[in-house]
Amino acid sequence: MFKVFISLMSVMLVYTISNAQDKGNLLVTLSNGTIEISVLPDVGGLLVRASLCGRPNIIQSDSTLWNESPEKRPSLYPRPPFKAYNGHVIWVSPQSEWWVHQDSIPSLKASRAPWPPDPSTSLAPYSIVTKKAHELCMVSPESPYTKVQITKTFHISKNKVIISATAKNISHDTIAWGLWQNTRMSGWDAVFVRADSSEFRKTNYMSREKVKKPGLNYLGGFYSYESVQPESGQYLSKSFFDVKEPLIAGTHQKQWLIIRSNSIAAKMIHPEQSRVELYIENSTRPAKDLQELEMQFDYRQIVPGASISAEETWKILPASGSTDKNELLKELKKILK
């Protein structure tokens, strides 16, 4: 009878939302009994946790930073060192233009600095617009650097997460940007990009001269990095794919994260970027290593007051936990049928 009662309670489970306030940060969790996600509105509106209910976090983010006291939060002035919370973030693209449309920090403008990202949209507190049982919508401050205000909406349904974003031009001039969704997983997870071999554009190896690691492999219609630990320092690689139907899948702690988005013609993406990008870091500290599962969206002129938008759909599913990539690919292809 007790088991029947528990079963009935599970069937009757409604969407729940919880707030965890500890030392200043507000961690907002959406759960529907199947999946759960957690967001930090106080720090860039970052999505820092996603999983099947009761299972380990799939995405790479340091949970010790989620409830830090306000005085430990990063400065909103873009100076080193950059404090990385990881998780899922939304930027504008191309990266080469992050600092060229502002005059507040001439040194970053003159050097066309590719780092750090705009703190107003990636680290500043977001204001909650809507908080429902199954949905959270937040808006960033207006950025004096990239001249946009970003709105993020997270919606959960069954085993899916829909991540929608808009960037509004808050300036008096026409500007041009694309949106960029970036999800971090461990640098040692098996991550696959579905692509015809002809859709692969290039890999940039950013490690020591002549070291082409981690290497990118092509197997059964999917590209994947082969993680490798260096004797010292880091190995860094980034690959670019002009895919027609974006799909990135990664597996962690016996769970699949499958990310999809709509079809966008390659010519609509800024030429310095690609529709799908995959970045990896391998180092002597594997626990800190990450992969970035990135999707770029159409690059457009934005008149004052207008917006651009981008949407991803995540599916979170159980996985076998196999460490054999051939077996994982068989498993993934069966899921995708």
Mean pLDDT by 10 residues, the chain (337 residues): 40 41 68 98 97 98 92 87 94 98 95 96 97 97 98 98 98 98 98 97 90 95 97 96 97 98 97 98 97 98 98 98 96 97
pLDDT value at residue 26: 80
pLDDT value at residue 66: 94
Omega of the bond leading into 81 within 30 degrees of 0 (cis): yes
The total of structural domains in the chain comes to 1
Residue with tokens 């696959």: 192
pLDDT value at residue 19: 46
pTM: 0.92
Convert 35-70 to b/e letters by CB count within 10 Å (16 or more is b): bbbbbbbbbbbbbbbbbbeebebbbbbeeebbebee
Q: Tell me how crowded residue 313 is: count the other CB atoms within 10 A of its CB.
A: 16
Give the CA distances from residue 11 to residues 15, 16, 32, 158, in Å, rounded to whole numbers and listed in that order.
Answer: 11, 14, 11, 13
- Residue 170: give its domain's CATH number: 2.70.98.10
The H-or-E segment that residue 327 falls in is helix 325-336
| Phi, psi angle pair for 213, to nearest 5° | -140, 150
Chain center to CA of 92: 13
Separation of alpha carbons 158 and 180, rounded Å: 25
Specify whether the CB–CB gap between 223 and 215 falls below 8 A.
no
37: containing domain: 2-336
